[in-house]
């Protein structure tokens, strides 16, 4: 599998959220989405990858990413 890089179009996929509901990436079109699935991709409102981070360590990763993005 080729790694996603900034500027790539985000792949279409569906996952379960923390409440067990089905969530598709397409339902967030036009919004910036941050996802963690062993790797982290920040997908901008245009559907392009803005950041691609691989082999991330779980401890503290999301908190740091949220600070870096100014989401807190």
Q: Which domain holds residue 19?
A: 14-69
Answer whether residue 3 is part of any domain: no
Cα(56)–Cα(36) distance, rounded to whole angstroms?
Answer: 9
The total domain count for the chain is 1
Tell me which residue has tokens 């803005």.
50
pLDDT in tens, 4-60: 788 888 888 887 777 888 888 788 888 887 765 567 888 888 888 888 887 777 788
**pLDDT score, position 36:** 54
Cα(64)–Cα(46) distance, rounded to whole angstroms?
Answer: 24
**pLDDT score, position 23:** 85
Answer whether residue 50 is part of any domain: yes
Answer whether residue 6 is part of any domain: no
């Amino acid at each position: 599998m080729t790694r996603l890089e900034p500027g790539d179009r985000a792949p279409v996929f569906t996952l379960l959220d923390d409440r067990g509901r089905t969530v598709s990436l397409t339902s967030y079109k036009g919004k910036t989405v941050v996802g963690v699935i062993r790797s982290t991709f920040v997908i901008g409102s245009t559907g392009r990858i803005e950041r691609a981070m691989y082999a991330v360590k779980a401890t503290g990763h999301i908190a740091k990413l949220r600070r870096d993005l100014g989401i807190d």
